[in-house]
Homo-oligomer: A and B are copies of this chain.
Amino acid sequence: MTADHDTFLSRAPLFVAMGPELARSTVQKHTPRFYERGEEIFCEGEAADSFFFLIEGWVKVFRRGDEGEQVVAIFSAGDTFGEAAMFVGGHYPASAQAVSPARVLQIDGAALRRVLLENPQVAFSMLASFSDHLKHLVAQIDRLKARSDAERIADFLLAQTKETSGAVTIALPYEKPLIASRLGMKPETFSRALVRLRDHGVKVCRDDVLINDVGALSRFAARPPGAEARSGG
């Protein structure tokens, strides 16, 4: 293990979820193996008794089908792969192949599962960490998906109504600073963007918002009318 490996361990969600101690002890027991470009690391259908930690290079995971090869994912240094199959203890649902010279640690899955069986609290900590991590990513995606501040607010407002056209008045579900925080904006950014929405037929009066034309605002927000918006509801 080098300092470099330690950086990697703090990046792969699986190792982060394990906690530093288990992550380090899991990795330390193994020595990396080199793969030439084109070499297969595991094959679809093989027993999934390991997972893999990519130290260097690129690996593709793919399925062979009637219509040729379907690439499922491409991994780069610092990524782990094969762990979902390993946890279930079944068979790899796809194959993995080095697409450049690659250095890979193959990690014994049965041993890891044993540790978790003997220490269910560690498995629970991993579930806690994963579930926390997921929430942060989902929130980040919500923010990234919506483009401008004004569009994001429009999206939020549209999520408050089931109408798909015409004028509606909606009551803000909670205080403006909280809405700003939910959308990841500073209150002043929120206020400025709200002002900009006047051009798109949005008028705010205390906690009520009047939308002149829901259809038009949907087009502005690039959001199909009536679609459920996770970012807002």
Chain A positions near chain B (C-beta within 8 angstroms): 13-14, 17, 37, 57-58, 60, 71, 73-74, 76-77, 83-89, 99-100, 113, 116-117, 120-121, 123-135, 137-141, 144-145, 173-175, 178, 181-182, 232-233
Give complex CA distance A127, B83 in Å: 9
> How far is the CB of A161 from the nearest CB of chain B, in Å?
14
A113, B117: Cβ atoms closer than 8 Å: no
A132, B77: Cβ atoms closer than 8 Å: no
Hey, which chain B residues are within 8 Å of A120, CB to CB? 116-117, 120, 123
Hey, which chain B residues are within 8 Å of A173, CB to CB? 57-58, 99-100
Q: Shortest 9 CB-CB distances between A and B: which pairs?
A: A130-B130, A87-B128, A99-B174, A144-B144, A137-B137, A74-B182, A84-B128, A84-B132, A87-B124
Give complex CA distance A126, B116 in Å: 13
Hey, which chain B residues are within 8 Å of A144, CB to CB? 141, 144-145
Give complex CA distance A233, B131 in Å: 25
A134, B130: Cβ atoms closer than 8 Å: yes
A83, B131: Cβ atoms closer than 8 Å: yes
> How far is the CB of A122 from the nearest CB of chain B, in Å?
10
Give complex CA distance A126, B131 in Å: 10
Known contacts A113-B124, A130-B130, A145-B144; is A77 also within 8 Å of B233 by CB?
yes
Hey, which chain B residues are within 8 Å of A37, CB to CB? 174
**Which of these, B71, B76, B121, B126, contacts A181 with CB under 8 Å?**
B71
Known contacts A58-B173, A100-B174; is A135 also within 8 Å of B88 by CB?
no
B131, A13: Cβ atoms closer than 8 Å: yes
Give complex CA distance A231, B3 in Å: 22
Hey, which chain B residues are within 8 Å of A99, CB to CB? 173-175, 178
Known contacts A58-B174, A124-B116, A125-B87; is A74 also within 8 Å of B181 by CB?
yes
Hey, which chain B residues are within 8 Å of A117, CB to CB? 120
